[in-house]
Amino acid sequence: MSRIPQTPIVELLPSTVPFVGPEALERQRGVAFKARLGANESGFGPAPSVVAVIAAAANDVWKYCDPENYDLKQALARHHGVKPENIAVGEGIDALFGYAVRMFVAPGISVATSLGAYPTFNFHVNGYGGRLVTTPYVADREDPASLLALARAENARLLFFANPDNPMGSWWSASVVSELIATIPDGTLLILDEAYGEFAPEGTLPPLDVSNPRLLRFRTFSKAYGLAGARIGYVIGEAELVKSFDKVRNHFGVNRVAQAAALAALADQAYLRTVIGKVERARARISDIARANGLAPLPSATNFVTIDCGRDGAFAKRLLDELITRGIFVRMPGVAPLNRCIRVSAAPDAELDLFAELLPEALRAV
């Protein structure tokens, strides 16, 4: 019996996942990790007030969600000082990236990004037949000037830029990002990933301008709010531009429990401030552990610390594998020269105690 042909684009793509999850590694190893420090989740969890709302919302899980995300859009609009029509909600930033790419990218359309930047965005571009063009990081940071030059030279339809950045944890000031926004070429839309914005120093995120039709800003409840498993994020932008998400999004994609959890998380800003403080302390401790072992932590405005291992990517991969063997889940950038590093997520003290104990052992094994 013959197989039904897939589209030419899909036929040529590998069946792959941008990230190998800790669960897959646990299945391969046959044992659970002792410390989950690789996925940039919030090991501090959601607020107790949010957990209570999730428990209560479970009773209504037999109902479909509100496909308009009305209550959450209203709350986000009040929180950010914009109108509800400036916000679209989706199943995490990853899904919203996919919708944005679907809206603007067709086979052969150029998309500009940094070499080694967040791979799930690239996954969506490849899936719609887009042409990815890249420019290297400069001094371990995405370089706005290089990205602008690339977008102009390649007539890019989309330009991807993260501030703060994953995987390096670096960031630019609001003034630099505002200059990038102001100089985006005609015909180019800026995809501004601000998933880690809550952790960044004051003066990192530019003021919101929802009059600009060449800018989309992406935020999430996965990081600081501790709802990575709920899969819920949102995009802020000019009203007509944001309205286009209704043409392509999965209208029942954000489940009912996630909607309730996000509303409760947004309301508990006191807990958010507590988590931000815990992340700051955890970053400092990870950096101290790295330095105590002869490694160099990079400055970070995120909920992780990228650690320069001082050698090449092969050395960093061996160190990562030795840590995994010892039950410590970490990740590393995938592209040279960034892959000389490993990346360690902020976590409670008990998990960082294990990292401090086992890192020297892993280094000796390498």
Note whether 342 and 275 are within 8 A (CB). Answer: no
Mapping DSSP to helix (H, G, I), strand (E, B) and coil, where does residue 183 land? coil
Note whether 130 and 122 are within 8 A (CB). Answer: no
Neighbours of 83 (CB within 10 A): 14
Q: Where in the chain is the domain with CATH 3.40.640.10?
A: 48-267
CATH class of 19-45+270-365: alpha beta
| 140: Cβ contacts below 8 Å, ≥ 6 apart | 168, 170, 298, 306, 338
Q: What is the pTM of this model?
A: 0.96
Q: Where in the chain is the domain with CATH 3.90.1150.10?
A: 19-45+270-365
pLDDT tens for the chain, 366 residues long, are 888 999 999 998 888 888 888 999 999 999 999 999 999 999 999 999 999 999 999 999 999 999 999 999 999 999 999 999 999 999 999 999 999 999 999 999 999 999 999 999 999 999 999 999 999 999 999 999 999 999 999 999 999 999 999 999 999 999 999 999 999 999 999 999 999 999 999 999 999 999 999 999 999 999 999 999 999 999 999 999 999 999 999 999 999 999 999 999 999 999 999 999 999 999 999 999 999 999 999 999 999 999 999 999 999 999 999 999 999 999 999 999 999 999 999 999 999 999 999 999 999 999
DSSP E strands, the chain: 35-36, 87-90, 110-114, 131-135, 158-162, 189-193, 215-220, 233-237, 296-297, 304-308, 328-329, 341-345
Q: Which single residue is written with the structure tokens 């100089």? A: 183
What CATH number should be reported for the domain whose range is 48-267?
Answer: 3.40.640.10
Chain centre to alpha carbon of residue 6 = 30
- Distances from the Cα of 324 to the Cα of 204, 233, 300, 360, 363, angstroms: 34, 30, 23, 14, 12
Crossing angle, helix 256-267 and helix 48-57, to 10 degrees? 150
Give CA–CA dist 281/120, Å, rounded. 29
